[in-house]
Amino acid sequence: MVEIVNVVASGALNVELDLERLADDIGEPVARHDPDKYPGMYLRFEEDAPLITVYRTGKFIITGADSEDESYSLRERFLNLFSDMDVIEEPEDEWFAVQNYVCTGELDQNLNLNALAIGLGLEKTEYEPEQFPGLIYRPEGAEGVVLLFATGKVVITGCRSVESVEEIFASLTETVSEVL
DNA sequence: TGAGCGGCTCCTTATATATCAGCTTCGG
DNA sequence: CCGAAGCTGATATATAAGGAGCCGCTCA
Per-residue pLDDT tens over the stretch A103-133: 999 999 999 999 999 999 999 999 999 999 9
C1’ B17 / CA A84, Å: 41
Strand C closer than 7 Å to the CB of A134? yes
Residue A8's pLDDT band, with cuts at 50, 70 and 90, is very high
A177-CA/C17-C1' distance, Å: 40
ω into residue A39 within 30 of 0, thus cis? no
Phi and psi of A6, rounded to 5°?
-160, 135
Q: What is the mean pLDDT of residues A7-29?
A: 95
- Look at residue A106 and give its three-state secondary structure: strand
* pLDDT at residue A39 in the model: 95
Q: Which residue is nearest to the C1' sugar atom of B13, using CA?
A: A63
Sheet holding A135-137: strands in order across? A31-33, A41-43, A51-54, A59-65, A2-12, A95-106, A153-159, A145-148, A135-137, A125-126
pLDDT tens, position by position, A70-90: 999 999 999 999 999 999 999
Mean pLDDT of A16-37: 94
pLDDT at A180 over 80: no
- Element containing residue A119 per DSSP (H, E): helix A113-120
A53 touches strand C (CB under 7 A): yes
Q: For strand C, which nucleotides have at least one atom less than 7 Å from a protein CB? A: 11-19
pTM of the model: 0.93
Q: From residues 86-105 of A, list those within 7 angstroms of strand B by Cβ.
A: 100, 102, 104
Mean pLDDT of A44-48: 92
Cβ atoms A125, A67 nearer than 8 A:
no
CA of A6: nearest nucleotide by C1' is B15
Q: What's the CA A39/C1' C9 distance, rounded, in angstroms?
A: 25
Q: What residues form DSSP beta bridges with A128?
A: none
SS3 A175: helix
Please state, for a pLDDT cut of 90, what percent of chain A lies above it.
94
Q: How far apart (Å, rounded) are the C-alpha atoms in residues A13 and A59?
A: 6
Asked if strand C comes closer than 7 Å to A77 Cβ, the answer is no
A137, A46 contact by CB (below 8 A) = no
Q: Note whether A135 and A41 are within 8 A (CB).
A: no
- Mean pLDDT in chain A? 95
Residues in chain A: 180
Strands A145-148 and A135-137: antiparallel
